[in-house]
Amino acid sequence: ACDITTAWFGFSGLPPLEPNRQPLGNQEIAKFDPKPKKCSMKHLLALVLTVLNVSIALAEDTIKIGLLASMSDEWASLGKNSLRGAEIADSEINSSGGVGGRQIQLEVEDTLEANSGARAVSAYQSLRQRGIQLFIGPSGTPAGMSLAPIIASQKVVVVTPSVGVRDFSDAGPNIFNSRGVDEQGSAAMARLAVQRGWKRAAILSSQQPWEQAQGEAFRREFERLGGIIAEHAAPLPETNDFRTIV
């Protein structure tokens, strides 16, 4: 019997843990930190205002910041948490005198982005038509990858608290990611599997962009270390019956 370990990305609802890694040459060991570092929404607002040319943000008495967040689909928990955090940070900053004497005003648009980035694009364009050039969001990778080329071509600044793929922040110098890159954790899983002697693996990801990226990151690292991918299944994101796959 062959020893096959299966890597699941996305369907379990739990993203890979980010590693606290110590390089040991080819025997690099991934130590997973159960308490990932956090960046508060107040820090995000400060970053948005810091990295942009001040003349853009402060041309008016009120500094408007657009919040792109998934508010009414299966990712609503991400969006609503982002909104709550932004409202707390907004209140704290404004009660302390604002920024340069100017108050912050949040403008929110629902991106409905669990499986598609189309609504996020129209939400972004709606905020841009209101003259907004500072953004927090979006909530996830489908929207992030749809927006990335548009954002990169415009004079705006975007900071995401939750998009986990490298390609989003790499798309332009005006795009920032406070979460970190989840592919690092997926590659660490592959190193851990090899360290434990698992030479064959099966991957179940999906065609959703974030899950695709995690599956590919695991595959690349696992194969680089001499492992064999026996099967890599990537069904549609809405698939909920895996009996024929597993």
Joined together, the tokens standing for residue 44 give 């995000």
Residue type at 190 in one-letter notation: A
Q: Residue 65 is inside which H or E element, if any?
A: strand 62-69
Q: For 179-192, what is each residue's pLDDT tens digit?
A: 778 899 999 999 99
DSSP H helix total and E strand total for the chain: 8, 10
**What does the pLDDT read at residue 59?**
55
CA distance 17 to 15: 6
The predicted model gives 141-148 an average pLDDT of: 93
Give the residue ranges of DSSP H helices in the chain.
Answer: 41-51, 54-57, 76-95, 118-129, 141-152, 166-170, 182-195, 209-224
Q: For 32-59, what is each residue's pLDDT tens digit?
A: 343 344 455 555 555 555 555 444 445 5
Residue type at 223 in one-letter notation: E
With beta carbons less than 8 A apart as the criterion, state whether 158 and 135 touch: yes
CA distance 73 to 82: 14
**Angle ∠(185,238,115) on CA atoms, nearest 5:** 65
**What does the pLDDT read at residue 136?**
95
- Residue 138's nearest CA partner among 73, 59, 201 is 73
With beta carbons less than 8 A apart as the criterion, state whether 162 and 139 touch: yes
CA distance 16 to 32: 10
Residue type at 242 in one-letter notation: F
Joined together, the tokens standing for residue 84 give 């709550």
DSSP 229-241: EEEEE---TT---
C-alpha atoms less than 13 angstroms from C-alpha of 174 in its C-beta half-sphere = 18
The predicted model gives 135-157 an average pLDDT of: 94
27 band by pLDDT with thresholds 50, 70 and 90: very low
Tell whether the model's pLDDT for residue 19 goes beyond 70. no
Q: What is the mean pLDDT of the chain?
A: 80
